Every structure is written in C-alpha cells, then in structure tokens.
Amino acid sequence: MNITPRVRFAPSPTGYLHVGGLRTALFNFLFARHHDGKFILRIEDTDRNRFVDGAVENLISTLHWTGLDYDEGPDKGGDYGPYIQSKRLDIYRTHAQELIKKDKAYYCFCSPERLSMLRQEQKHTKDQAKYDKFCLNLTPEEIQKNLSALKPYVIRLNVPQNQIIEIDDVIRGRVEFNSETLDDQVLIKSDGYPTYHLANVVDDHLMKITHVIRGEEWLSSTPKHILLYDFFGWNRPVFAHLPLLLNPDRSKLSKRQGDVAVEDYRAKGYLKEALINFVALLGWNAGDDKEFYYMNELIEKFSLASVNKAGAIFNTEKLNWLNAEHIRNKNSVELLPELRSALKNSVYDESFFSDEYLTKVIDSMKERITFVSEVITKSPYFFAEIENYDPDVIKKRWTVETPVYLSKLSEEFSLLNNPGKEDFENALKKTTENLNLGIGKLIHPLRLAVSGMGAGPGVYDILFIIGKEKTIDRIKKAIEKLS
C-alpha cells in the first residue's frame, strides 16, 4: 500500500498564530514533505462567538513568513475545498442527518438552564458530568412538534454504553477508553454550526486526510472521533498526538506568561530559521547531538517515531542562542534587509546609509549579536557621531599623555591615501614605534575616541568602515572633550 500521505494544519482563527500552533503546523509540514505527501491548511472557524476580524488573513501571512507553505488551503484552492469550515455548513448538516437516521445521533431540545442544573447536581453527587440522554426518549411526534414550533435544538452524538474504544497512537501507543466516560457530545449547535468534533471528522474524511497530527489536548476527545468514523462507516486516519508546549510553570503554554504569538517573536527580531529550528527541537530529536538545522535537513531527518511523549517548556534561552547561530551562518547580504527594517524602527530612520556601508557594518558585528537590531544598539557609532564616552573606559584607558599620542597618530593617518585596514594598522604601528610605546597605549584610547566605548569589532575594522575623515575628526573631538 503506497498512498500519498495527506496531513493538515487546522487552526481556529483567534487572531494570531500561536507558537504551539506553529509547532503542530511544522510537524505536519515536515511529515508531509518527508514522505512526499500533501500539507493542507484548513480554517476551523465554527465558533462564531470567537470571530475575529482579519484573523484568517493574519494567520495566512504569518504562516507564509515561516515558510510552511501548504499545498491546499483557503487562498490556494485544491480539489477538496472549501477549506474554511464556515463555508461547509450544509455538508455538516447532511452528515448529522445521516447519523440521526442511523440512530447514532439525536435531537436535543434541553434548555441551557436544565443542562446547568443537571451539571450542578452531578457535581454535587460527585458523579461524572454527562448529559442524561433525556431527549433520546422523545417520540418522533414530540420531536416533530418541537421542530415545527421552531424550538431551539442541538444534535447530540448517541454514545453507546460500556464499549471499549481503542486508539493506536503513533506517539503514545495503544490508549483505551470506556465509552461510559464519554458525554453525548453536541455535534450541531443551536446556531446551526457544527462543533469541532463533527466538523473535523467529516472534513478529515472528505479531504482524505491520512494522518491526524495534533496537540495532546485532543487525545481525550479522540474516542468521540473514533465513534464518528465508525458510525459513518469510514476508515480511521492514523493518529499522532504531540506533546504540549509548556509555560515555565509546566502548564499549557499561554499568554499572560509571556509571548505566544509567532508575530511577537518576529517583531522581536527572531529569524524564521531560528524559530523553526528551535520549535522543531521541542519534542523531537533525530537521536544524535545535532542541534543546528535548516529546514531541508529537518525534512530529511524528521520522523513521527522519534517524537517525545513529554511536554516541553518553551524557554527562550536556547532560542536566543539559535538566533545568534543562524545570524552567524548567514552572509551580510542576506542580513541586509533585516538591518534595514531595524533601522527603520530606530532613531536613525531618517538617516541614509548605503548597502555597501551597511554590509561592512554587518560583517563586523555579525558574531557579536543575538539580534540584528543589536547592530544598532551595540555599535551606534556606525550610525551617528559620538555623544557620550564610557566613563569606565575613560578611567581605564585615557591618561594625560593620551592626547599627545593620539595627535601624532592622527597626523600619521592624515598622510594616508584611501586607506585600507592594513594601512591604518601600519600607520598605528609606525606611530607606536616612533613614540616608543606599547601598542595598547594607542589602540585603546583610539577605540574610545572613535566609538565612545571599550568593546566592539577590531579597531582597524572600525576605522576602515567609518573612513579616514571621520576617524581624524573623532580623534580631534575626543581630545577636546576628554582633556
């Protein structure tokens, strides 16, 4: 049997893409690409109370940014559309009717009041909270009467009694449930919309989904889904329930305890490569020590069998390291757009810098940063003149003789014609020889003069990047200000 796997990412449009959702999407994507299968995006918007304007568009654009491109989806089309559940309402209705005909589902006219009373009572007697199948005993006449009186109703799943339901989960192995513990789940709500349980089963079947890869929070409701597959007479897909992403306190990852939206991480300056790499490692490992991955390597190595069972805390320390690693592994031209956009959001948004200049700046700072925006914050001297000199560095590196030495050096520099790095270096060495000084006596105050600080790229790199004129100018200003 060699069928093409078809998997899906089925988020509900809450307004943003949750990092847990990103992880689910990624694992689906990796599985599909690894097996030359199809990856489908389906929007589960069956809760009209939670409708958020523009949420779908936002989700799609964020997903697009991450590079998790799908083969079929709302904006992409495909043979099994529509891919938005709110546009498939009559499909669910027809299927619910089919279940009613088979006595596998039934109309329920119970009021919310009765339901909550029932629940309270069960809570009191410490019974399991379950619908009591009251409406299952309605006669056809009563049902018809209620229906023509337009009495609000839901359609419920008729869960059989005392039946063992087995799930063979790829990640967790065999899991058993007794149908006694299952509630007669609402399938169609009183507003005519389906619940997740009905919609996801119907759609997965109609869209020919072969593997359902989703978060562990769905494991408990899987027996209800299995029941539905059986009632419809459909083959079940393969199930794989992924471990949850956790807050630092080990509860399910949520807002309130930090950022959960992919957009937030993007805005903070995380590279999509780093985010994908990091999220892939949360719950998956190839069985070796490799930690730095590109997407194509993930696709190649990924396997559901090597997914962990236990939840993982979303701890950004390692994400930061991976971001720095991915920055170091990119060339300066690739990083240029990132710097440009960081610049646009900085105080230097009005200033002009050439691509050539910024590229040199990036090269000099690339391995000293965790975020591209730190090029600006950690080396502002590449973007503006020096306003402040680090007092600690002044204290440590600036002596009474320094102005004299630097003047000599400046004279030497002024002799240079279109100098390169080595020319600056040679000029400095020549000056120290003439003055009979150790090289440090010049190099440290020089760094202070041209950068205002004590840390950064090699001085000759800085000099070369800012150029001879600015170098001489800054030396002069430093002498004025610090003497």
Partner RNA sequence: GGCGCGUUCGUCUAGUGGCUUAGGACGCCGCCCUCUCAAGGCGGAGAUCACGGGUUCGAAUCCCGUACGCGCUACCA
- 391 Rama class: left (phi>0) / alpha (psi -120 to 50) / beta: alpha
Near RNA by CB under 7 A: residue from 154, 275, 409, 466: 154
Stretch that binds RNA, among 52-60, 86-94, 136-144, 241-249 (CB under 7 A): 241-249
Alpha-carbon span 119 to 307, nearest angstrom: 38
Alpha-carbon span 260 to 280, nearest angstrom: 16
Contacts with RNA by CB under 7 A: the residue count is: 85
Which residues on adjacent β-strands are paired with residue 434? none
In whole angstroms, the minimum distance from the beta carbon of 358 to RNA comes to 19
* Binding of RNA by 279 (CB under 7 A): no
Q: Could you tell me the two tokens for 108? A: 């329920």
* Binding of RNA by 320 (CB under 7 A): yes
Residue 459: CA count within 13 A, CB half-sphere: 22
Near RNA by CB under 7 A: residue from 455, 467, 481, 483: 455
Stretch that binds RNA, among 74-82, 242-250, 258-266, 408-416 (CB under 7 A): 242-250
Across 17-48, b (16+ Cβ under 10 Å) vs e yields bbbbbbbbbbbbbbbbbbbebbbbbbbbbbbe
Q: Are strands 38-41 and 6-9 parallel, antiparallel or unpaired?
A: parallel
Q: For the chain, give the longest Cα–Cα distance.
A: 111
Rg for the chain, CA atoms, rounded: 32
Q: Could you tell me the two tokens for 483? A: 């003497």
If DSSP codes are grouped into helix, strand and coil, which group holds residue 58?
helix
Q: Which is nearer to RNA, 319 or 358 (CB)?
A: 319
Near RNA by CB under 7 A: residue from 65, 321, 348, 383: 321
Q: Which is nearer to RNA, 183 or 412 (CB)?
A: 183
* Binding of RNA by 383 (CB under 7 A): no
* Binding of RNA by 444 (CB under 7 A): yes
* Binding of RNA by 311 (CB under 7 A): yes
Stretch that binds RNA, among 94-102, 240-248, 256-264, 342-350 (CB under 7 A): 240-248
Annotated catalytic residue, options 255, 290, 344, 396: 255
* Binding of RNA by 203 (CB under 7 A): no
301 is known as an active-site residue: no
Residue tagged 């490692």 (tokens): 281
Alpha-carbon span 23 to 30, nearest angstrom: 10
In whole angstroms, the minimum distance from the beta carbon of 39 to RNA comes to 18
Single out the residue of 436, 429, 444 nearest to residue 397, CA to CA. 444
- State the amino acid at position 335 in one-letter form: L
Stretch that binds RNA, among 68-76, 167-175, 268-276, 334-342 (CB under 7 A): 167-175
In whole angstroms, the minimum distance from the beta carbon of 287 to RNA comes to 3
Q: Please report, as residue ranges, which positions from 339 to 358 form the binding site for RNA (by CB under 7 A).
A: none
Contact 426, 415 (CB under 8 A): no
* Binding of RNA by 423 (CB under 7 A): no
Near RNA by CB under 7 A: residue from 439, 469, 481, 483: 439
Residues classed as catalytic: 255
